[in-house]
Amino acid sequence: MMDIILLILSIILLITGIVGSILPVLPGPPLAFAALIVLHFTKYAHFSTALLVTLGLITLIITVLDYFIPAWSTKKFGGSGYGSRGAIAGMIVGLLFGPIGLIIGPFIGAYLGELLGGQNSQFALKSAIGSFIGFLLGTGLKLILSLIILYYWVKGL
């Protein structure tokens, strides 16, 4: 009976993790990885320690990077430290406004940061576009990792 409960919990975590890779409110890869761990403790699947440690480390790295990629890409598009700090501040403020806030928060934050730093609106817009591309890159990485975890989850059954 416990194995069935854990299997159901694992399915819920996996689905939520994949959805969370796209919706910024949910921590997608950590939830998907948790699904793999829960499944590991059932009679239905067993994963090697090497696989779990590797996927765990990749999950940790991508989860942390997801908070910094918008600021990094802002700089790559020519943004200054003002734009990078604005992107981070926008992401934090965006948390208060749900998924839409997390999507547009770094964009608006980078734009306002550059304007406050004395840049013109065209430069600020370029910096904000870099921030948005960083958001898309982070989302892509999270989705790819969650789908890789899905692959191992299905393979483990």
pLDDT in tens, 29-82: 999 999 999 999 999 999 999 999 999 999 999 999 988 887 788 778 888 888
Domain segments of the chain as ranges = 2-156
Q: Which uninterrupted H or E stretch holds 151?
A: helix 121-156
pLDDT at 120: 94
Q: Tokens representing 51?
A: 């696989």
pLDDT at 74: 74
pLDDT at 37: 98
Write the pLDDT tens digit of every residue in 114-147. Answer: 999 999 999 999 988 887 888 889 989 999 999 9
CA 1 centroid distance within chain: 34
> Who wins on pLDDT, 93 or 12?
12
